[in-house]
Amino acid sequence: MQSFPDIPQLEDLLFNVDAAMGATESHGALCGMLCAQGATEASQWMLYVLGEHEESSKSLQQAGLKLIQVHQISVEQMNDSDAEFELMLPDDDEPLEMRVEALGTWCQGFVYGLAMGGIKEDTVLPEDSKELIRDILEISRAGYVADNEAELATDEEDTEEDEVAFMEVSEYVRVGTLLIYEELQPLQSSQTVH
């Protein structure tokens, strides 16, 4: 199973080509589009990520190759019950604030992707999906707020609690994304009569 490209490296590539979104946000957008419309062409998604470009450049090609890799992995993970679907977020050894921010950005991308995929405010959705999308929208607005800067990092228990909370929220988003995908894009094989 191939893994996602290195996020900081992809961020740099996207930054260099003046892309419309960064790495985590673009993955969120892709997952949102996949949930909204099922099969999503890499080219359609990449147009949103990279924006319009008059001519190709080496950096643009490199960014494009990495994005195609992200697209392949994501489609595979979302359609294969054995593949562990993952959110493309910074590694666990990165500072928590950075990961929280990345999760928020991922969720913004996801909500944007749903819209790009054709889901509007008035689209009739299954109740579970509607609720999950509302929650993901809330998470997209969240940033990391330290309770009290002065005692930051002095209390290991707090840090641990924050870690646990982050893990729970990102797991909620991960599982929620799969549930939304399943509800909106039932796999062909699962359309048997219940």
CB 72 within 8 A of CB 149: no
Say what the pLDDT of residue 53 is: 81
HSE, side-chain direction, 13 A CA sphere, residue 46: 19
Say what the pLDDT of residue 56 is: 83
* Series of mean pLDDT values for 10-residue runs along the chain (194 residues): 88 95 97 94 94 86 95 93 89 92 96 95 91 95 55 65 93 96 71 37
Q: From residue 15, how far is each of 20, 24, 112 by CA, in Å?
A: 9, 13, 19
Say what the pLDDT of residue 155 is: 63
Task: List, as one string, the DSSP characters of the chain.
Answer: ---PPPHHHHHHHHHHTT-SS-HHHHHHHHHHHHHHHSS--HHHHHHHHH---SS--HHHHHHHHHHHHHHHHHHHHHH-TTS--------TTS-HHHHHHHHHHHHHHHHHHHHHTT--TT----HHHHHHHHHHHHHHH-----S-GGGTTT-HHHHHHHHHHHHHHHHHHHHHHHHHHHHHS--GGG-S--
Say what the pLDDT of residue 192 is: 37
Please state which CATH number belongs to domain 7-190. Answer: 1.20.120.740
Say what the pLDDT of residue 131 is: 96
- Sketch the domain layout of the chain as residue ranges: 7-190
Alpha-carbon distance 76 to 78, whole Å? 6
Say what the pLDDT of residue 184 is: 93
Say what the pLDDT of residue 189 is: 40
Say what the pLDDT of residue 111 is: 97
